[in-house]
A and B are shown apart, each in its own frame.
Chain A
Amino acid sequence: MSVSAIRRLILTGLLIAIGIALSIANPTFLKLDNLMTMLQEASLTGIVAIGFTLILITAGIDMSIGAVIAITSMICVNFISYTQLPAYIYIPIALAAGCAIGWVNGFFITHFKLPEFIVTLATRGILAGLALIIAVKDEQGFVKNVFIEDPVFLSFGETVGPVYIVTIVFILLAIATQFFMKRTRAGTNIYASGANPTAARLSGINVDRTLIGVYMFSGFCAALSSIFLAARMMTAMPEFGIGNELDVIASVVIGGTPFTGGIGDIWGTIIGTLFIALIKNGILKLGLSPYIQPIVIGGIIIVTVVADVWYKHHAEKKATQAARRKAMESKEVGA
């Protein structure tokens, strides 16, 4: 069994174990309502995490995702407050804005050879400020959080049966992205660009275009999540999403996509997202202080990353030993 498969099995086992422990500690945990709102939470983070997984596979980072969530919600709420345009026109515009921001990130990273962290941190600041500037104001100039009443927009926060629409979209997007990454040439190009950009370039892959595409996808995912968030809360706030980057990063890293690039996949990210959502929900169910939550999440990141590094080291050592033994054997045969 491969390293990542074992890892995934262990995480899934842990996930189930925690679930059982929680349902014994607090029977309301297993209520359908609770499971569905937990999945809703997980999906809001998870949609962003799908885009972020691709970023990490290219060995990049995108710090602007939170601010993209903020600005997208502000764009929607501006359309709702000042125009009569229907939701099926302004929602695509808002999603396109997310892609456009991703394009800008990708453009600066590839054409000026700037570090990903710096570029996206800068766009994060700019977007957070812009979100406040374009926020809807009342007659005295104070930021006003509009109460959204557009039924089409609000339908994004509804459920189909007991399942929230956002959960369905999350699952579909995850399946599509996984398929794209593993079964198409463009997906392979993304892995290659992350594993070794020079080798990828030499073998004829347009690395710059691949990277720009990945950042655009990340912007799109953040924008999509923003629409579901605003529909859920029936309002949009200029500080939406800002500060939520850490949950997203944690989900992806716990899911087994390392910062070094070249490996990782969406299944891992789904498990990581569920893991974080379960812990957040569990802490509330156990009546623990929410302050413990970041400590627990931080602790889990450390443990999984240490385990990853240790396992990788172990596997490499084994591989070198095997290679050496083989070389010795062939030498003996040759002699």
Chain B
Amino acid sequence: MAKAKWMVAAAALFGLACGAASAETKIGYLPSTVGQALTQAWKTGIENTLKGQPNVSFQALDAQMKAEIQVTMMDDFINQGYNAIILQPIDAAALTASVKKAEGKGIPVITLNTDTKLPHAACVTMDDQGAGYLVGEQIGKALGGKGNVAIIQSPPGAQAGVEREKGFRAAMAKLYPEIKIVGAQNGLWNKDKAIEIMNSFLQVNKQLDAVFAVNDNMAEGAMIAAEAAGRLNQVKIWGFNGQKSTLTLIEQGKITGTAYTNAYDQGATAAKYALDLLSGAKKKGDKTDVVVVPPFAATKDSVAQIKPEQRW
């Protein structure tokens, strides 16, 4: 008798949990890593958009920069019956199968910055290649079309960084063929490694006029190295993303510029898109709907246009 009671209680509990799970809308956020200003800002943007919505729950996971982990986490979102997923793929090819699987089960996937190989609901992107091109133009103009530049790269195969570098190199090749790219080294996205690389660039090249680091953390590293070598005023340093600390350094004149994107806005756009799909306000098309968030070249002259509440 007691046993039967327990089983009824357990069944009720189970039913309750199931019922609760199906009543609310679950949105998952899966960036390459949570430990970056950019992915944090996206998260804030998403959360602010979802906050006012009734019955919407939100969960973020950290893929720790490994595609295999990200695929596992995608599977988990799918198995748990999430209603929409906002994903920053670590790699376009590696996440395609997961995105396909999710969409096959009727879960729309909205990608951030990196598109995947097969069509899905939407991609809200900051146009890495175009922004890289923009940085190239800016550096070329400032140098008067002549000089030596170096690149602090992302890890090989990291698509976002590679696209930025491609855009930059395209601008150099097309607009400023006389500018020489004297070095390109992998800074692993991080500041410490960038300091080390910048030191070697400075030692090898007696004349180094500009450096393009494919993210802001590495630009800050390059600045530290150049300052220590006493050559900060001879080298123009450009970063990418436009995080708060870098914008401050631009105001101080220590970093020349960065390709800024309003990441809060970008996150909010993605979240809004997900809600519209779920409410039926937007319909999923045959092709990926690409929403481009335009980049903005932030330099000492233009940085004041970015308001405090737009800084992340």
Which residues of A are at the interface with B, using a C-beta cutoff of 8 A? 24, 26-28, 31, 33-34, 37, 41, 132, 135, 140, 142-148, 157, 229, 232-235, 237-240, 243-244, 280-281, 284-285, 287, 289-291
**Least Cβ distance of B212 to chain A in Å?**
15
Contacts of A31 in B (CB 8 A): 79
Contact A290 B21 (CB under 8 A): no
Q: Decide: A147 near B117, CB < 8 A? Known: A142-B156, A287-B59.
A: yes
Task: Name the residue of chain B whose CB is nearest to the CB of A132.
Answer: B156
Contact A291 B62 (CB under 8 A): yes
Q: Mark B77-90, 1 if CB is under 8 A from A, else 0.
A: 01111000000000
Task: Tell me, in angstroms, the Cα distance from A144 to B66 when the chains sit together.
Answer: 16
Q: How many A-B residue pairs have CB under 8 A?
A: 95
The answer, among B10, B13, B62, for a CB contact under 8 Å with A289, is B62
Per CB-CB distance, the 8 closest pairs between chain A and chain B, nearest first, are A235-B93, A34-B79, A143-B157, A143-B156, A145-B93, A234-B97, A147-B93, A28-B80
**Least Cβ distance of B59 to chain A in Å?**
6
Contacts of A135 in B (CB 8 A): 156-157
Contact A234 B81 (CB under 8 A): no
The answer, among A27, A37, A144, for a CB contact under 8 Å with B21, is A27
Offer 27 A-B interface pairs, CB within 8 angstroms, sorted by A. Answer: A24-B10, A24-B14, A26-B80, A27-B18, A28-B21, A140-B166, A142-B157, A142-B165, A145-B91, A145-B94, A145-B157, A147-B96, A147-B117, A157-B97, A229-B68, A233-B93, A233-B97, A234-B93, A234-B97, A235-B96, A237-B91, A237-B94, A237-B157, A239-B66, A239-B157, A243-B66, A291-B62
Q: Decide: A232 near B157, CB < 8 A? Known: A28-B79, A145-B91, A237-B67.
A: no
Q: B-side binding surface: helix, strand, loop or mixed?
A: helix
Contact A146 B93 (CB under 8 A): yes
Q: Mark B227-265, 1 if CB is under 8 A from A, else 0.
A: 000000000000000000000000000000000000000
Whether B200 is near chain A, meaning CB under 8 Å from some CB there, is: no
**Least Cβ distance of B25 to chain A in Å?**
15
Contacts of B66 in A (CB 8 A): 239, 243
Contacts of B91 in A (CB 8 A): 145, 235, 237
Whether B310 is near chain A, meaning CB under 8 Å from some CB there, is: no
Q: A27-B14, A157-B97 are in contact. List 7 more A-B contacts (CB 8 A).
A: A28-B81, A41-B72, A145-B91, A233-B93, A237-B157, A285-B76, A291-B62
Task: Tell me, in angstroms, the Cα distance from A33 to B81 when the chains sit together.
Answer: 10
Contacts of B10 in A (CB 8 A): 24
Contact A290 B79 (CB under 8 A): no
Q: Decide: A140 near B61, CB < 8 A? Known: A145-B92, A238-B157.
A: no
Task: Tell me, in angstroms, the Cα distance from A27 to B12 when the chains sit together.
Answer: 12
